[in-house]
């Protein structure tokens, strides 16, 4: 027994005619007869009474028709779900975002998915990369996006470069430093410095450029892994933001924040990776997220 045979059976039951059912199904009458005969043999009972030229379902045939209709309907819905899934319009995505990517992607991604992919179930987890790697390996996440420097190479991980963003200093538009043509680190340190945890590479570059005063443990007074909260606090206070320019991009574009012309120039950037488990089949809808992240995780 298969779904195709049930579809053939229902067509005959509805039309009460092999010829009309064959026309509806776009198959020959002989092929339809063989399909019904095979179904009856499989069930071990007659499904139609053939009374002259009339075709009527047997009492068992009537019961089979009721159950078959539900099965065929469910099979149709299953096919449709698969088509939607393969087209990236449905399904689910479970995403982990490191501090920087979370600030730049979370709100925009939720809005994008609600508008363009409303049938996709989206779950976003924010937190430290080491914890999210554990969740990825436990199959609690489909993928994560984090600073590539925090991803230790491992045979079970696939880390795909997905974007890069400069590191900058920024402050509120009305901040005293915002009026200066150039700014030194000493001038910045007269105010609270707000930053998420910095990679060892950027920490070394800071010290090389600005001296021991730039050691993150000494310099940063407002530390938080939630970069969006840091940026919001900087816009409402005299704190100075040290972090990804892309995280401050919206505030700068809106006129709430100003990127400071610090000298020497801080030529540092964060490189992001899209991390998945090796050998694991990825849901097509995840390609939507990968493209979205790649477009926004760059200056």
Helices (H), 16-98: 18-25, 29-43, 59-86
From CA 240, how far away is CA 233, in angstroms rounded? 9
- Given a cut of 70, is residue 81 above it in pLDDT? no
The model's pLDDT over 269-280, given as tens digits with 9 standing for 90+, comes to 888 999 999 888
CA distance to 27, 49, 214, 217, per residue, from 278 (Å):
46, 58, 39, 36
Burial class of 10 by CB neighbour count within 10 A (0 to 12, 13 to 18, 19+): middle
Residue 96 and residue 132 in contact, taking contact as beta carbons nearer than 8 Å: yes
From CA 116, how far away is CA 275, in angstroms rounded? 24
Q: What is the mean pLDDT of residues 106-132?
A: 91
pLDDT of amino acid 128: 87
Residue 136 and residue 188 in contact, taking contact as beta carbons nearer than 8 Å: no
The model's pLDDT over 19-57, given as tens digits with 9 standing for 90+, comes to 899 998 899 999 999 999 999 999 898 999 887 778 899
As a whole number, the mean pLDDT across the chain is: 89
The model's pLDDT over 153-206, given as tens digits with 9 standing for 90+, comes to 999 999 999 988 889 999 999 999 999 999 999 999 999 999 988 878 888 999
pLDDT of amino acid 263: 94
Burial class of 268 by CB neighbour count within 10 A (0 to 12, 13 to 18, 19+): middle
pLDDT band at 226 (very low <50, low <70, confident <90, very high): confident
From CA 82, how far away is CA 84, in angstroms rounded? 5
pTM score, whole prediction: 0.61
pLDDT of amino acid 267: 86
The model's pLDDT over 235-270, given as tens digits with 9 standing for 90+, comes to 999 999 999 888 898 899 999 999 999 999 988 888
Q: What is the mean pLDDT of residues 60-68?
A: 90
pLDDT of amino acid 150: 85
pLDDT band at 80 (very low <50, low <70, confident <90, very high): low
Token readout for 159 is 């880390």
Residue 189 and residue 213 in contact, taking contact as beta carbons nearer than 8 Å: yes
Residue 57 and residue 39 in contact, taking contact as beta carbons nearer than 8 Å: no
Strand partners of residue 50: 55
pLDDT band at 125 (very low <50, low <70, confident <90, very high): very high
pLDDT of amino acid 158: 95
pLDDT band at 139 (very low <50, low <70, confident <90, very high): confident
From CA 259, how far away is CA 24, in angstroms rounded? 69
Q: What is the mean pLDDT of residues 282-297?
A: 87
């Amino acid at each position: 027994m298969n779904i195709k045979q049930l579809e053939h059976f229902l067509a005959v039951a509805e039309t009460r005619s092999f010829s009309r059912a064959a026309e509806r199904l776009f198959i020959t009458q002989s092929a339809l007869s063989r399909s019904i005969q095979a179904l009856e043999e499989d069930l071990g009972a007659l499904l139609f009474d053939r009374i002259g030229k009339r075709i009527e379902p047997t009492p068992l045939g009537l019961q089979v028709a009721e159950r078959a209709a539900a099965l065929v309907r469910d099979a149709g819905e299953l096919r449709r779900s698969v088509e939607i899934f393969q087209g990236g319009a449905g399904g689910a995505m479970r995403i982990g975002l490191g501090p920087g990517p979370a600030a730049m992607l979370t709100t925009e991604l939720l809005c994008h998915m609600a508008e363009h992919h409303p049938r996709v179930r989206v779950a976003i987890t924010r937190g430290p990369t080491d914890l999210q790697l554990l969740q990825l390996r436990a199959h609690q996440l489909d993928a994560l996006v984090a600073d590539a420097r925090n991803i230790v190479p491992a045979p079970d991980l696939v880390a795909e470069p997905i974007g890069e963003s400069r590191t900058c200093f920024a402050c509120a538009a009305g901040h005293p430093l915002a009026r200066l043509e150039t700014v030194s680190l000493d001038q910045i340190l007269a105010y609270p410095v707000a930053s998420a945890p910095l990679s060892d590479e950027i920490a070394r570059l800071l010290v090389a450029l600005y001296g021991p005063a730039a050691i993150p443990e000494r310099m940063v007074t407002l530390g938080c892994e939630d970069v969006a909260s840091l940026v919001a606090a900087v816009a409402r206070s005299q704190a100075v933001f040290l972090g990804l320019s892309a995280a401050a991009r919206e505030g700068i574009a809106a006129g709430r924040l100003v990127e400071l012309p610090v000298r020497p120039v801080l030529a540092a950037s964060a490189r992001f990776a899209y991390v998945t488990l090796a050998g694991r089949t990825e849901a097509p809808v995840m390609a939507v997220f990968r493209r979205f992240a790649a477009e926004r995780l760059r200056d």
